[in-house]
């Protein structure tokens, strides 16, 4: 199993895990030959033997290596070591657009600036005959200087037909699929244009244009009706850019990624000096995203025909859209939707062997240098020197940026999740000094979030024995207060029920 200190290819020393998913893990690492920080994406041994997954990994490496553009993440190396397949990419000091949007929507000018950057990168991708097929906020990374990168080409398709769609299956994330992908038709460059339109819509509104009870219902909506209209607070030229990108019929969309980039820039009269996208600096408290500021309404966006070499493959040469075809019948999605994306997760520490179990309800020691909670915050009750969740608390993966821990996404405990809180305590005042993503290395935090406390809080000690532990700062909603959550998860798989007792 991968862990900090492991060397791959006798060259890349793993430093800290920054992401994990069903297919593999992403680690921050050091290239000991060139002395630089890199990102290493390693395929998990459990899927390495499956031909489709192994081939997808190689396709991603080749696709990324064939594109040279500032808005496309660079790949440095691809190799195998002891049965482990890995690729080496540039390390991005920043966060995903999905993390940015989790703090609030963006103003029209910032949205158009990011859309133009993404479309520029997409134009270079399409020029190499590649369709990304899974563009979404989680696959768009924002550097600290505000520049954007496209990443995760794991399910891309080349113009010559090389693709990774299994028989009867659709690859991609349901929320961001184009109508033609939902219908099982081949994805083209215009499918990527549609996905960028969905992303821009989410940036402007803070919500997705289609919502439903399950992924299939969400996917089906886009072939039955147009998305919900953008609000009046969005300038008309910006609305026009997004609405055309979201046309159900590919022929009605912007004819290429290059045309979309030009339209996005023209939609704002004066593009602001690149003020960075609100990425939080490495300080204890998170920076908030500025409230949306309506941009001045400029002249309408010119509908210029693209140059012949700028057409997205799969589109027609005519720059004028033809009338949209009416959707006359319901379409059923018969294919399973496979979401292939390395989900967020970081700074994971392996659990030490469990200590002797304690009686249920026993607390842990107070954190040194930090006063114990005088009154339990909302959602918690006091249990000895610690705090215990009044109701089960479960979370998605963990992410840190430059040592600063980001609050994870809350998930229902009766659905698949990664982590569960078994206790909490006050955040030490000096937490940032040693890295908020490495709190479990502190003696006081390790003693508070002990394996013994896992056993004491567990509904079934046999189930949670040997679970991985971590300690992570998470904000109490609406208060600005951050507590250190003692978290636990199984070494493999994602549980779908709470493992710890409520008081």
Q: Which of 134, 152, 437, 470 is catalytic?
A: 134
The residues with which 81 forms a beta bridge, in sequence order, are 84
The residues with which 426 forms a beta bridge, in sequence order, are 483
136 in a labelled binding site = no
The residues with which 424 forms a beta bridge, in sequence order, are 387, 485
Q: Give the C-alpha distances (Å, rounded to integers) separating 296 from 261, 268, 274.
A: 19, 7, 17
Pure H helices in 104-245 = 108-127, 179-182, 189-205, 215-221, 236-245
| Tokens encoding 212 | 């439903």
Q: Are 227 and 245 in contact (CB under 8 A)?
A: no
For residue 207, what is the DSSP state?
A: S
Rounded CA-CA distance 36/309 in Å is: 37
Pure H helices in 66-169 = 97-101, 108-127
Which one, of 77, 106, 199, lies nearest residue 150 by Cα?
Answer: 199
| Tokens encoding 67 | 């594109």
Q: Are 90 and 67 in contact (CB under 8 A)?
A: no
Residue positions counted in the chain = 503
**Rounded to 5°, angle at Cα 414 from 501 and 358:** 20
Rounded CA-CA distance 405/345 in Å is: 11
The residues with which 410 forms a beta bridge, in sequence order, are 395
Burial class (CB in 10 A: 0-12, 13-18, 19+), 34: exposed
- Neighbouring CB atoms inside 10 A of 479's CB total 10
At 487 the three-state DSSP class reads: strand
> Which residues contact residue 142 at a Cβ distance below 8 angstroms, ignoring those fewer than 6 apart?
94, 95, 96, 97, 100, 114, 148, 149, 277, 279
134 given a catalytic annotation: yes
Rounded CA-CA distance 149/82 in Å is: 31
Rounded CA-CA distance 178/133 in Å is: 9
Tokens 């060259």 appear where? 11
Return binding residues for ATP: 41
Return binding residues: 41
> Which of the residues are catalytic?
134
């Amino acid at each position: 199993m991968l862990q900090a200190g492991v060397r791959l290819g006798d060259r890349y020393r793993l430093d800290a895990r920054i992401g994990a998913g069903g297919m593999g893990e992403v680690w921050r690492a050091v290239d000991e030959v060139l002395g630089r920080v890199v990102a290493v994406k390693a395929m998990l041994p459990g899927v390495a033997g499956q031909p489709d997954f192994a081939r997808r990994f190689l396709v991603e490496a080749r696709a990324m290596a064939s594109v040279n553009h500032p808005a496309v993440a660079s790949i440095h190396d691809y190799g195998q070591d002891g049965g482990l397949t890995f690729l080496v990419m540039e390390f991005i000091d920043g966060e995903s657009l999905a993390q940015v949007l989790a703090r609030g929507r963006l103003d029209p000018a910032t949205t158009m600036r990011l859309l133009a950057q993404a479309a520029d990168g997409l134009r270079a991708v399409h020029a190499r005959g590649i369709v990304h097929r899974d563009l979404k906020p989680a696959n768009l990374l924002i550097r600290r200087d505000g520049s954007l990168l496209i990443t995760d080409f794991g399910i891309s398709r080349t113009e010559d037909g090389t693709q990774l769609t299994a028989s009867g299956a659709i690859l991609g994330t349901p929320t961001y699929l184009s109508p033609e992908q939902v219908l099982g038709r081949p994805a083209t460059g215009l499918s990527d244009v549609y996905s960028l339109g969905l992303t821009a819509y989410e940036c402007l509104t803070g919500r997705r244009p289609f919502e439903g009870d399950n992924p299939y219902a969400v996917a089906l909506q886009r072939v039955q009706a147009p998305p919900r209209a953008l609000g009046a607070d969005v300038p008309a030229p910006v609305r026009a850019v997004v609405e055309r990108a979201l046309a159900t019929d590919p022929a009605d969309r912007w004819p290429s990624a290059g045309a979309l980039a030009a339209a996005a820039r023209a939609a704002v009269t004066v593009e602001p000096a690149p003020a960075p996208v609100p990425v939080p600096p490495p300080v204890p408290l998170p920076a908030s995203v500025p409230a949306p500021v309506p941009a001045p309404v400029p002249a309408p966006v010119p509908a210029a025909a693209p140059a012949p070499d700028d057409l997205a493959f799969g589109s027609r040469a005519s720059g004028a859209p033809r009338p949209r075809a009416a959707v006359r019948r319901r379409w059923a999605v018969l294919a399973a939707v496979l979401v292939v994306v390395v989900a967020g997760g970081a700074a994971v520490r392996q659990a030490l062997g469990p200590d002797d179990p304690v009686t249920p309800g026993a607390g842990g020691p107070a954190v040194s240098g930090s006063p114990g909670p005088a009154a339990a915050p909302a959602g918690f009750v006091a249990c000895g020197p610690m705090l215990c969740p009044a109701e089960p608390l479960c979370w998605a993966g963990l992410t840190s940026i430059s040592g600063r821990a980001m609050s994870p996404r809350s998930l229902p405990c009766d659905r698949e999740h990664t982590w569960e809180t078994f206790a909490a305590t006050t955040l030490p005042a000096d937490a940032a000094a040693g890295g908020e993503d490495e709190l479990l290395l502190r003696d006081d935090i390790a003693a508070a979030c002990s394996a013994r406390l896992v056993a004491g809080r567990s509904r079934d000690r046999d189930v949670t024995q040997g679970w991985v532990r971590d300690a992570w700062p998470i904000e109490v909603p609406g208060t600005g207060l951050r507590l250190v959550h003692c978290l636990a998860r199984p070494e493999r798989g994602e549980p779908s029920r709470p493992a710890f007792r409520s008081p």
